[in-house]
Structure formats: C-alpha cells, structure tokens
C-alpha cells in the first residue's frame, strides 16, 4: 500500500474509534447526572428551577467532551491535514 | 461536504472574499439592530402597549431574571453584553428554518470571536468591580498553588466555549445532510426540529456560562457562585 492508502485507513479507523469512545463516556456521565437530578427533583420539588438549570449547564459541559471527539473525527474525515499534505507532496 | 459555511464563497474580488458566514452574520446584526430600533422608537408608558413592545419586554425581563438567578445581583450592568450574546446565537439558530440558510455559528471563526469577547469581558468586569489588584488576587484564590491552574482554566474554558458552540451547530447541519442521503422526507425534518432545540439550549448555555464566569470574576471573595464550572 502506498502512503495515501495508509493515511486513509488510519484516518477512517481512528475517526470511528474516536466517535465511538467519545459517545460512550459522555453517555454514561449524562445518564448518571440525569438520574441523580431526577432523584433530587423527586425529593425537593421546590428547588426544581435551580436543579434544572444546573442540570442543563452540567449536561452541556459533559456533552462538550463528546462534541470534541465529534469535531476531531469530522476533521479526520472531511478536512484531514495529513491527507492534504500527501496530495500536495504527490503533486510536486 | 462542507463542514463550515466559511467555505461557501459568495463573492470574490482579488484577495477579498465574501463568504456565507460574513454575509449571514451581518444580515443578522442589521436585522436585530434595526428591529430593536424600530420597536423602541415609540415606547409607550401608558396601559396600552403595542405587541412588539411587550415582546421585547418579555425578552429583556426574562434575560434579566436568568442573569440574576445565575449569580449576578445587578443584571442591568451586564445585560448589554450577555443579552447580546444570547440574542445573536438564538436568532442565528432559529433562522435555520429558512431554506438555504446556514447558521454563522456553525463556523469556528464566529464562535471563536464570541468566546474571545467573553475572554476579554471577564477580566474587564472583574477589574471594574473589585479593582486591578483585587481581581489579580482572585487568581491565587484558594492557595497560591492554584495559580497556574486558574490561568490554564481561563484559556481552556474559552477554547471549550468556542468548540462546543461550533460542534453543536455544525453537527446539527451535518446530521441533516447525512440523513437526507439515507432516509429522505421524514427524519431530516425531525432532526431539524431537534436542531432548533439544540440551538436554543446552546444559546442559553453560552450566555449562562458567560454569566457564571463574570460572576466568578466579580465576587470571587464574597460568595461562591451557585454553579461552579470548569472548562
């Protein structure tokens, strides 16, 4: 295989693994935080607005790690710098 | 496949390029500014209030309440900054119902600019509130050992804000694009609806995070803010 194929294979496989593991962790974290928030909502319905707001901010925080992984895999697939470099090097 | 509206160039003359991000953000800015000017030109103090004035009052009062609940006691001082952030991001994601429109927040340059303005506004409000030395002391807050970590978190949370907004808006458009090629007609509409919800939540998150960071800068020594976050 030439270097282009190596780059393509490595990028595609890494993008899949990145999104897979990047969804796994935040999914566990978000599930746990929503479960805890529901539990505390059931115990203290008066504090609903504070709990919901903190939950939303926290969920966005957790979800941003998944978004980082998604951005990395999108860059690997659609805007791969190594691939562009190899194309530029082949052109010369 | 384009991952950002930066790559859609509408007009080019020499080295000057006018891409979709610039055009849509300027159109949004003009729309928001002119709309607000037209509505606030004739404000009524009597019992009979026009519908548009009530609409703006609802928005301003709502943002004020949210800022106050997130830990800033005087929201009038900060609504000019935080409210603008919220309205711009919210409008740019609501307008995705217009066909052919691409949200300017789906470009990393726009979100980086928004995050940078928060990065500058936090020390600005902090120094205005407790003086230069008081603000600088807040970096060594629990102990001096935390100094480098506080400085790192200042940068990392700016990066996190930019990437979070960009990733969410970009992923919405991308999921619709992918689904259009797999299952047309029904699922893209559902995902567009979900994208509208995500856009509103992200606008809320972005402005609430800015509020929390500013609140942390102006009252670091008095009371700890309700929501403590790390970037």
Looking at the domain assignment, is residue B229 inside a domain? no
Minimal CA separation from A90 to chain B, in Å: 23
Give contacts of A71 with chain B, Cβ < 8 Å: 163, 166-167, 170
The boundaries of the domain holding residue B191 are 5-218
Distance between CA atoms of residues B47 and B54, nearest Å: 11
Give contacts of A60 with chain B, Cβ < 8 Å: 164, 201-202, 205, 209
A49/B201 CB distance under 8 A: no
- Range with lowest mean pLDDT among A19-23, B129-133, B174-178: B174-178
pLDDT at B57 over 70: yes
Give contacts of A81 with chain B, Cβ < 8 Å: none
Output the CA torsion sign for B178, B180, B181, B185. positive
Distances (CA, A) of A76 to A2, B15, B78, B223: 19, 28, 40, 44
Minimal CA separation from B177 to chain A, in Å: 13
pLDDT digits (tens, 9 = 90+) for B147-205: 888 888 889 889 888 988 998 888 888 888 888 888 888 888 888 888 888 888 889 98
A74/B174 CB distance under 8 A: yes
Categorize the per-residue pLDDT at B221 as very low, low, confident or very high, splitting at 50, 70 and 90.
very low
Q: Indicate the number of domains in chain B.
A: 1
Looking at the domain assignment, is residue B224 inside a domain? no
Looking at the domain assignment, is residue B228 inside a domain? no
Looking at the domain assignment, is residue B102 inside a domain? yes
Minimal CA separation from A3 to chain B, in Å: 23
Please give the ipTM for the structure prediction: 0.70
- DSSP code, position A51: H
Instruction: Name the residue facing A71 among B167, B201, B204 (closest C-beta).
Output: B167
Domains and CATH numbers, chain A: 3-91 (1.20.20.10)
Looking at the domain assignment, is residue B227 inside a domain? no
Distance between CA atoms of residues B34 and B222, nearest Å: 40
Q: CB–CB of B78/B154 below 8 Å?
A: no
Mean per-residue pLDDT for A59-87? 85
pLDDT digits (tens, 9 = 90+) for B3-50: 777 777 878 877 888 888 888 999 999 999 999 999 888 887 877 888
Distance between CA atoms of residues B196 and A83, nearest Å: 34
Task: Give the DSSP H/E element, type plus range, for residue B222.
Answer: none
Torsion angles phi and psi, residue B223, rounded to 5: -125, 145
What is the pLDDT at residue B174? 81
Give contacts of B230 with chain A, Cβ < 8 Å: 61
């Amino acid at each position: 295989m030439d270097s282009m194929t190596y780059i393509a294979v490595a990028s595609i496989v890494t993008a899949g693994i990145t999104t897979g593991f990047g969804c796994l962790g935040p999914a566990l974290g978000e599930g746990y935080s929503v479960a805890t928030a529901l539990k505390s909502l059931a115990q203290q319905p008066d504090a609903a607005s504070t709990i919901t707001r903190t939950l939303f901010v926290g969920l966005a925080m957790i979800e941003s790690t998944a978004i980082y992984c998604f951005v990395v895999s999108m860059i690997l697939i659609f805007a791969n710098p190594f691939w562009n470099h190899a194309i530029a090097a082949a052109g010369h | 496949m384009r991952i950002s509206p930066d790559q859609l160039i509408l007009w080019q003359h020499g080295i000057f390029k006018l891409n979709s991000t610039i055009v849509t953000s300027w159109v949004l800015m003009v729309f928001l500014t002119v709309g607000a000017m037209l509505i606030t030109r004739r404000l009524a103090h009597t019992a009979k209030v026009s519908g548009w004035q009530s609409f703006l009052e609802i928005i301003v009062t709502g943002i004020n309440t949210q800022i106050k609940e997130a830990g800033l006691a005087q929201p009038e001082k900060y609504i000019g900054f935080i409210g603008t952030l919220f309205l711009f991001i919210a409008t740019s994601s609501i307008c995705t119902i217009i066909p052919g429109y691409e949200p300017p927040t789906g470009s990393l340059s726009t979100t980086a600019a928004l995050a940078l303005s928060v990065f500058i506004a936090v020390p600005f409000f902090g120094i205005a509130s407790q003086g230069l030395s008081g603000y600088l002391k807040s970096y060594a807050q629990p102990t001096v050992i935390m100094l480098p970590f506080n400085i790192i978190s200042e940068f990392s949370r700016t990066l996190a804000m930019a990437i979070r907004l960009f990733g969410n808006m970009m992923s919405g458009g991308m999921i619709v694009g992918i689904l259009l090629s797999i299952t047309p007609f029904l699922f893209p509409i559902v995902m567009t609806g979900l994208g509208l919800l995500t856009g509103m939540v992200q606008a809320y998150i972005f402005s609430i995070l800015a509020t929390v960071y500013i609140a942390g800068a102006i009252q670091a020594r008095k009371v700890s803010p309700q929501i403590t976050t790390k970037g």
